Structure 1
Amino acid sequence: MLDFPNAKINLGLYITEKRPDGFHNLLSCFYPVKWTDALEILPAPAMRFDMTGLPVPGDPETNLCLKAYHLLQQNHDLPPVHLHLHKVLPMGAGLGGGSADAAFTLRILNKMFELNLTAAELENYARQLGSDCAFFVRNKPVIATEKGDVFEPITLDLSGYTCVIVYPNIHITTAEAYASITPKEPTCTMNLLLKQDVKVWKEILVNDFEAALFPKYPELPQVKEKLYAAGASYASMTGSGAAVYGLFEGEAPANLVFPGHYLIWKGLL
C-alpha cells in the first residue's frame, strides 16, 4: 500500500509556557501542504525497512516509521512488513515531515490489516511518537495548543493561494530553537487573528522563533524579505525553522529564484 505523507506549515506560532515535563506549550494554526514524502508498506516474510531520497541521519532502527509499527504491534498482532520510505521533505525544516511519516505509517497499517481504529485512537498512538504527529491523522487545518497535540478545528480555506516553501539547507534542532525563547501569552486569540484578511497577517501574525533565529541565520530573513518583494501576501518561518514560506494570491511569480543549493517547493494550497 502506497501513500504520500505531506508537510504542514505554521500560521503563527506562539510559545506560551514552559511545562513541568520540560516541553513547551504553544499556540499555532497547523495547515497541510502538498509537498510529500512517499511511503510504501507491503506484506513481507520478515521485517524490513529501507530508505531512499534525502539522507536521514541516525540509526534507521530508530526511525519513526519503525517506531509506529512497533507501537501498534504492542496491542495488535501485526505480521512482518516491508516499509520503504522515499524521503523528499527536508529534516530540521519545521515542516513536520518525520511526524507525517509516523502518522501515515499508523494510518496505512490500520487500513492494511483492518484494525478498525478510529481517528481518535490513531491520534492517541501518534501522540506517543511526537508532539505534532497526531495532526497528520486527520490532516486538516486546526488550531493547535499544549505540546502541539491538542486540536481545535478551524474553518480556514486558503485554496486560492499558492504556497512557496524555501529551505536554505540549514538544520535547526528543536533544542537550539527553544534555547533563546522566552514564553509569553499572545495578546489576541488565534481565531481572531486568522479571521483577518491574509494581507493583514504580515502585521499581526508572528512566529516567536523568528526573533531568536533570524539574527543567527541571516539567510532566513533574506528569504522572507525576497518573498515579500515578489508579492507574497504573507511570509513566515514555519515551525522552529529553517524553512520559510510565502503565500501568494493566485499564481506565484515564475521568475522567483533562490540560490541553487536551496530546496524549493511551490504548489496550490
Structure 2
Amino acid sequence: MELVQKAPAKINLSLDALYRHQDGEHEWRMVMTAVDLADYVHIQPAATIQVTTDSGFLPEDPRNLAYQAAKALARAAGVTAGARIHIEKHIPVAAGLGGGSSDAAAVLRGLNDLWGLGYSKDKLAAIGLTVDSDVPFCVYSQTALVRGRGEVVQPLGPMPNCWVVLAKPRVSVSTPSILNAIDYSQPLPRPDTGMVIEGIARRDFAQMASGMCNSLEQVTASRHPEITELKHRFLKYGATVAQMSGSGPTVFALCEQQSRAARVYNSMKGFCHEVYLVRPLG
C-alpha cells in the first residue's frame, strides 16, 4: 500500500511582519496562496519512521521537516507504527516557497489516512505549528489570511484569475538569518492587506495587486541584489506586479492574461536559470 500526497508550493501575496514576541517568535499578518508547482510525498507502512528524497540538498534525518511532522503526529496520537516516506522534489530548496513546510503538511495528511486517525485539518494544522510556522497554511493549501505565529488560517476563497511566473536566482537564503536581521525599531514597507483581501473577495485582480508588498523584501535584497534585479526585469517584460516570496530569494510576478505571462516567462528564461509558469490552485 502506498499513499501519494501532493505538496504545493506557496507564495506570499502580502507579508506583514508586525513585531517580535518576547520568546523570539514573530507576529505575522499575511495573505498566502498555493500554486501548481509541487513536490510529491510517497508514504508506505513501515516499522519505523524513515525519510528519503531524490534531492541531494535535503537531510534525511531528524533535521527534515517531514520527519519532524511524522514524529509530532505519532506523539500526539500515541501511535507506535512507523512509515517509509519518500519526497519527490520539484520545489526549489531554500527558496521562500515553503517546500519543506508543504512536505511536512503532506506527511500529516498522508499519515492521518494511513494510521486511520480521522483528525480534522484544524487538528493537523495545530500539530504542524510545532514543526514550522508555515505548516498550518500548507495543511490547507488554499488562499488564506494567516495571522499570529502562523496558527490562524482564514480561507479567503479563490484568487482572481491570473498566472504566476516564478524566478529563483542561484542563491539560497536562510530564513532564520533573515528573521534575525529584522529591525523593528525602523519602519518596514507594509502591504495593504485589507486591499489584497478585498480584491480577492471581489475577484478584482488590479485591486488585489495594488495592495501587495513583502515586509521582508528589503532585508533579503540588501544581501542579495539579484532580487531587485529580478523584480525590475519582471516589470520591464510586462508583469503587472512582482515581489519576493517569503524570506526569498524567489521572486514571483502576476499577469492577468496567459499570453502576457507566457511572454514574461520566455523573457525571464534567458536571464534566470530556474523559471516556472504556474497557476494558483483553486
TM-score by length of 1: 0.90
- The residue identity in structure 1 corresponding to 2:79 is D
Q: Secondary structure at the match of 1:253?
A: helix
Q: Secondary structure at the match of 1:62?
A: coil
Q: CA deviation at 1:90?
A: 1.7
Mapping of 1:37-56 within 5 angstroms?
37-44=39-46, 47-53=49-55, 55-56=57-58
Structure 1 unaligned regions, length at least 5: none
Alignment-derived partner of residue 231 in structure 1: 238
Give the CA RMSD over aligned residues.
Answer: 2.3
Provide, for residues 158-197 of structure 1, a one-character-per-residue CA deviation record: whole Å limited to 9, x for no partner. 3x21101111021111232124323368877622344345
Contact 1:53 1:88 in 2 (8 A): no
Work out which of the residue numbers 198, 202, 206 in structure 1 matches 2:213: 206
Q: Alignment identity in percent?
A: 25
> In 1, distance between residues paired with 2:188 and 2:169?
30
Contact 1:202 1:234 in 2 (8 A): yes
Q: CA deviation at 1:16?
A: 0.6
Alignment-derived partner of residue 17 in structure 2: 15
Mapping of 1:33-182 within 5 angstroms?
33-44=35-46, 47-53=49-55, 55-56=57-58, 58=59, 60-74=61-75, 75-158=77-160, 160-182=161-183
Provide, for residues 199-252 of structure 1, a one-character-per-residue CA deviation record: whole Å limited to 9, x for no partner. 456654221112222232121111111111121111110001010000111211
> In 2, distance between residues paired with 1:59 and 1:26?
30
Higher deviation after alignment, 10-19 or 210-219: 210-219
Alignment-derived partner of residue 190 in structure 1: 193
> In 2, distance between residues paired with 1:213 and 1:260?
20
Higher deviation after alignment, 215-224 or 122-131: 215-224
Contact 1:110 1:117 in 2 (8 A): yes
Structure 2 unaligned regions, length at least 5: none
Q: CA deviation at 1:140?
A: 1.5
Higher deviation after alignment, 185-194 or 18-27: 185-194
Judged with a 3 Å threshold, the aligned counterparts in structure 2 of structure 1 residues 225 and 69 are, in CA distance, closer, same or farther, namely: same
Q: CA deviation at 1:37?
A: 0.8
Q: CA deviation at 1:54?
A: 5.0
Q: CA deviation at 1:50?
A: 1.3
> In 1, distance between residues paired with 2:248 and 2:256?
23
Work out which of the residue numbers 247, 254, 258 in structure 1 matches 2:254: 247
